[in-house]
Amino acid sequence: MRLPFYIAWRYLFAKKTHTAINTITMVSVVGVAVGSMALVVVLSVFNGLEKLILSMFNAFHPDMEITVAEGKTFSMETFPLEELMDIPGVVYYSEVLEEMGMLVHQDRQHLARLRGVDDTYSLITGIDTMLIKGAFILTENDRNFMVPGQGVYIVLNANISDFLNPIDIYVPRRGRTTGLHPSQAFRSLSVFPAGVFAVQSEYDMEYVIVPLRLMRRLLDYDTEVTSLVLSIDPQYNHLRVQRSIQEVTGPDFVVRNRLQQQDFLYRVMRSERWAIFFILTFILIIAAFNIIGSLSMLVIEKRRDIAVLRSMGASKPLINRIFFLEGMLISMAGALGGIFLGGLFSWLQMRFGIIGLQAEGVFIMDAYPVFVKWTDLLLVTVTVFCIGMVAALIPVKNIWRKAERPPQ
């Protein structure tokens, strides 16, 4: 293997008779390098965006969520809470009760999802870190407050400093109601907003955080909840903890981790990432045609060398390996250069934020988020290696048809 590699290495850097071969070889290396660099940079940008978006949603979604398999609510009196808290890795739990309700503020109204939570909810989700106005206060002595999303807050034209005009909450009464008057069909309470959170437009327009006791009062519940959310110690394996929780709760409950709670979003981001990867890979395949042309012209130029090697006893497989390794050296030289430049550019973007976002103050970050994963670098290397191998095999297959022509 050392002899074919040595000859291929000499052919790569040796001066050719026709300068066009040197030019095509250089174009091949540069083309593969640019494609590899683009792959590394684009995948790193997608990693940065994915990390940023998921971190924003993580402030709203807990580590684990337990819901009932059938139905809407379950009672905490019959739930195996003590056994659940004995599972290693489970740190906090919080009871959640959700229901759709109508919010009315002066002459404006909005249909929203009311999420009733207890005092430990902010320790589990970190929703208090996503406030843009006010404070995360749900109860103060006997008074109840709410924390609406930014979209709900804007639609209702509310004001956390307005202590004269509360927001009215209307929820349908449970069971059958008689009469035509709205007061007989709905239960209502008036609550002042204490703060405003901003996570993502979809959530900001839909959710309002209220005290759990207020929700139970509106819905005539005692100990019922729609879900139980958990905080898991990061030192523990979350999948193992999830399996342990499922064993304790049994088949009547569904346990979902954070990614499963955002399954649709995660699948969309994965699909977009792979789509861009395949598009850039196709560009790499086009760049690999230069390798085919370079090797084909090199074979024609080295016909005399091939004849000399054959007269010295070199076998056809040995000569095939020489030109195959030549093609692999061209592709891997471009790949290593592109990966190095792509990694360097990504690191500079992470460190200094070279490319910034235009509208300052509108976005969460001032520069494009970038995050480099070693698995992406490995994926790009393997991809370029496979493309280069196929590109090198095509001219090697026809090497003898070209080499056996009489030299001009």
Question: Mind listing the pLDDT tens digit for each residue in 129-151?
Answer: 889 999 999 999 889 999 999 99
**Residue 50, C-beta contacts closer than 8 angstroms, at least 6 positions apart:** 269, 273
Q: What is the mean pLDDT of residues 151-176?
A: 89
Residue 340 has pLDDT above 60, yes or no: yes
For 360-380, what is each residue's pLDDT tens digit?
444 556 778 889 999 999 999
Report for 198-202, 206-210, 264-268: range of highest mean pLDDT: 206-210
73: buried, middle or exposed (CB in 10 Å: 19+, 13-18, 0-12)? middle
Q: What is the pLDDT of residue 361?
A: 46
Residue 359 has pLDDT above 60, yes or no: no
Report the range of poorest mean pLDDT among 49-63, 75-89, 199-213, 393-407: 393-407
Report for 1-5, 53-57, 208-212, 321-325: range of highest mean pLDDT: 208-212
Q: With H, G, I as helix, E, B as strand and everything else as coil, classify residue 181.
A: coil
**Percent of the chain whose pLDDT exceeds 70:** 90
The predicted model scores a pTM of: 0.71
Reported as a pLDDT band with limits 50, 70 and 90, residue 104 is: very high
User: Which of 388, 404, 315 is CA-nearest to residue 4?
Assistant: 315
Q: Are strands 108-117 and 90-105 parallel, antiparallel or unpaired?
A: antiparallel
Q: Spell out the domain ranges in the chain.
A: 2-57+265-403, 64-258
Q: What is the pLDDT of residue 165?
A: 92
Q: What is the mean pLDDT of residues 208-219?
A: 94
H-helix or E-strand spanning residue 100: strand 90-105
In this structure, the chain runs to a length of 408
Report the range of poorest mean pLDDT among 299-313, 348-362, 387-401: 348-362
Q: What is the pLDDT of residue 402?
A: 52
Rounded to an integer, what distance in angstroms lies between the CA atom of residue 86 and that of residue 199? 32
- Where b means 16+ CB within 10 Å and e means fewer, 93-114 reads bbbbbbbebbbbbeeeebebeb
Q: Are strands 143-148 and 186-193 parallel, antiparallel or unpaired?
A: parallel
User: Which of 11, 40, 1 is CA-nearest to residue 334?
Assistant: 40
Q: What is the pLDDT of residue 121?
A: 93
**Residue 6, C-beta contacts closer than 8 angstroms, at least 6 positions apart:** none
What value, to the nearest 5°, has the Cα angle with vertex 93 and ends 192 and 227? 70
Residue 200 has pLDDT above 50, yes or no: yes
Q: What is the dihedral of CA 352, 353, 359, 360, to 10 degrees?
A: -30
Rounded to an integer, what distance in angstroms lies between the CA atom of residue 1 and that of residue 203? 61
Rounded to an integer, what distance in angstroms lies between the CA atom of residue 219 and that of residue 126? 26
Rounded to an integer, what distance in angstroms lies between the CA atom of residue 63 and that of residue 247? 17
**Percent of the chain whose pLDDT exceeds 90:** 44
406: buried, middle or exposed (CB in 10 Å: 19+, 13-18, 0-12)? exposed
Reported as a pLDDT band with limits 50, 70 and 90, residue 262 is: confident
Residue 357 has pLDDT above 90, yes or no: no
Partners of 114 in the β-ladder: 99, 208
Rounded to an integer, what distance in angstroms lies between the CA atom of residue 249 and that of residue 84? 8
Q: What is the mean pLDDT of residues 295-315?
A: 77
Residue 120 has pLDDT above 80, yes or no: yes
Q: What is the mean pLDDT of residues 267-287?
A: 87
Rounded to an integer, what distance in angstroms lies between the CA atom of residue 350 and that of residue 308? 54
Q: What is the pLDDT of residue 362?
A: 46
Q: What is the mean pLDDT of residues 39-62?
A: 83
